Amino acid sequence: MATYEFVLMIAPVLLVWYFAIRRGKKPSEPTTWPVLGMLPAVLLNLHRVHDYATEVLTECGGTYRVVGPRMDMLFTSAPACDPANIHHVFSRNFSNYSKGPEFHKIFDIFSDDIFRAYFELWEIHRKTTLAQLMHGDFNANLQRNVWHKVDTGLFPVLDHFSGARTDLDLQDIFQRLAFDNICKFVLDYDPCSLRPDLPFLPCEKAFSAVMEALLHRHVFPEWMWKLQKWLNVSDERNLAKAAVAFDDFIYPRIISGVNVLKAFEKVYRERNMASSNGSLRDFLKDTSLNLMFAGRDLTSTCLTWLFWLVSQNPASETKILEEMEAELRLKEDKKFRFFSAQESHKLVEMYLHGALCESLRLFPPVALEHKAPVRPDILSSGHHLHGDKKLIISFYSVGRMESVWGKDYLEFKPERWISPSGKIKYEPSYKFPAFSAGRPRTCLGKEMAFVQMKTVAAAILYRYMVRLVEGHRVSPRVLITLQARDGLKVLLSKRNWI
């Protein structure tokens, strides 16, 4: 029998079989294939995994089970008309949800830091960090340090590119700025990665490589990425190189008794943690890496998407400038300057704060959260969870659901964060989980991040006109942190009053 005759005979059977297994499924819902499960649909949509997950969750009620070879995950975001599952996991039944053993395998590059830590160690990290952030002169020092980096690092770089009339990647600039600031805070060392020559620092660039590989570990079956690790290829090779870069950068700069690490060293010695957490040097390295990751990616990611969203909505830029001039009295001399702690509080009541919140709603820096129940549980949506099942919460999807944010949920509207009285509206964290959700796990660096983001955003918007390079497409990259796939290529020109 000729090949084409065989194809003609078998094709109708395959079509009938395909439509049979698709019966009752929603348009975006993945097909469940024999042996492979839903893995083909996942791989086909990997380049847009966050948007694909949002489509499936929206069509299927906010919670959906994804199965495949050695893969069984429950994705959730905002079932029905309320993000009740997030509230249940992060607040009502918080003590029952840890990161879980699967998470520890995936995030092994972070050793025993706060991302992977079991509850006791996590609580130690959190209390120690909180004590540093609550120190009396912390906010004043933070504002001075951020402004110093803006004045001596950011402005010279942006002046260089605006003067040369050449484009630059604003995302790269924000990552360097955030990296320098967090290194100064954690290690009391400024690597000066933000310079006009844009030097290559392996440690600073390693963070993005890590985030891509870790997202793939969530999606691919464990045997697949473990095989890559054994062969030392692809993502796993990048992870290994990143681990070396982190070690080479951090270990030489761990100085006993310096800055924030002094508090962690004290806790380590008081609690006699050597038996369970290795040497003091390793403990401080892991702690430093954790804090550096949080400090670099949250602020740089939010600022990147803020400037992209503002570039698509010119009216919002005008509104921000008008309020800055009015609130900070910049009309008097037209010169943007360091503003005091009292003046910085005025920025909270401004359109700029709402614009930052909109950026965080649409593009939360951490798109996915991984959980596992200690004991079997039933979510608010009625789904059962056992200890061997992974729960993936899509923060990205929560900000893109009509049931949560209304019919204009895809619009960039800073006004949605401003009340009729002109004050900032605050949404519950399970509806706006950009800084995690629930009081126990809310990001400690939230206020620190807003200080940096407002200072940097205000400085750039007032000093420069920022325009997207013509033809440059911007979309999320496949990472755990929502970086722009090809950066944010812009052209700068100084404003008339500078």
Asked whether residue 397 carries a pLDDT value surpassing 80, the answer given is: yes
- pLDDT-derived band at 74, boundaries 50, 70, 90: confident
Please report the pLDDT score of residue 122 as a whole number: 62
- Asked whether the predicted pLDDT for residue 212 surpasses 90, the reply is no
- Which one of 1.10.630.10, 1.20.1560.10, 3.40.190.10, 1.10.150.120 gives the CATH number of domain 26-494? 1.10.630.10
More reliable by pLDDT, 483 or 274 = 483
Please say if the pLDDT value at position 80 is more than 80. Answer: no
Averaged pLDDT of the chain:
82
How do residues 341-395 score in pLDDT, each as one tens digit? 455 555 555 789 999 999 999 999 888 888 888 889 988 888 888 867 788 888 9
Beta-bridge mates of residue 147? none
Question: Tell me, what's the pLDDT at 115?
Answer: 45
Q: Is the pLDDT of residue 148 over 70?
A: yes
Q: What is the pLDDT of residues 297-322, one digit of tens each?
A: 889 999 999 999 999 999 999 999 88
* Residue 50 contacts residue 476 (beta carbons within 8 Å): yes
Q: Which of 61 and 129 is assigned the larger pLDDT? A: 61
52-66, 171-185, 449-463, range with greatest mean pLDDT? 171-185
Can you give the pLDDT at residue 10?
Answer: 64
Query: Alpha-carbon dihedral of residues 480, 482, 488, 493, nearest 10 degrees?
Result: -130
Percent of the chain predicted with pLDDT > 70: 80
Q: What is the pTM of this model?
A: 0.87
Q: In terms of C-beta density within 10 A (0-12 exposed, 13-18 middle, 19 or more buried), how is residue 336 classed? A: buried
Query: SS3 letters for the chain?
Result: CCHHHHHHHHHHHHHHHHHHHHCCCCCCCCCCECCCECHHHHHHCHHHHHHHHHHHHHHCCCEEEEEECCEEEEEECCCCCCCHHHHHHHHHCHHHEECHHHHHHHCHHHCCCCCCCCHHHHHHHHHHHHHHHCCCCHHHHHHHHHHHHHHHHHHHHHHHHHHHCCCEEHHHHHHHHHHHHHHHHHHCCCCCCCCCCCCCCHHHHHHHHHHHHHHHHHHCCHHHHHHHHHHCCHHHHHHHHHHHHHHHHHHHHCCCCCCCHHHHHHHHHHCCCHHHHCCHHHHHHHHHHHHHHHHHHHHHHHHHHHHHHHHHCHHHHHHHHHHHHHHCCCCCCCCCCCCCHHHHHHHHHCHHHHHHHHHHHHCCCECEEEEEECCCEECCCCCEECCCCEEEEEHHHHCCCHHHHCCCCCCCCHHHHECCCCCECCCCCCCCCECECCHHHCCCCHHHHHHHHHHHHHHHHHHEEEEECCCCCCCECCCCECCECCCCEEEEEECCCC
CA–CA distance, 258 with 244 (Å, rounded to integer): 23
Per-residue pLDDT band for 219 (boundaries 50, 70, 90) equals: confident
Query: What local confidence, expressed as pLDDT, does residue 116 receive?
Result: 44
What pLDDT was estimated at residue 317? Answer: 93
The CA distance from 456 to 450, in Å, is: 10
Q: Compute the average pLDDT of residues 178-190.
A: 91
- Can you tell me the distance from the alpha carbon of 360 to that of 384, in angstroms, rounded to the nearest whole number? 30
* pLDDT greater than 50 at residue 81: no
pLDDT tens-place string over residues 409-446: 999 999 999 888 878 888 888 888 887 765 556 666 67
Q: What's the pLDDT at 204?
A: 93
**What is the C-alpha separation between 178 and 193, in angstroms, rounded?**
10
What is the structure's pLDDT at 114? Answer: 45
Q: Compute the average pLDDT of residues 59-70.
A: 86
Task: Please write the tens of the pLDDT for every residue from 241-262.
Answer: 999 999 999 999 987 556 678 8
Least confident of 120-124, 276-280, 474-478, 491-495: 120-124
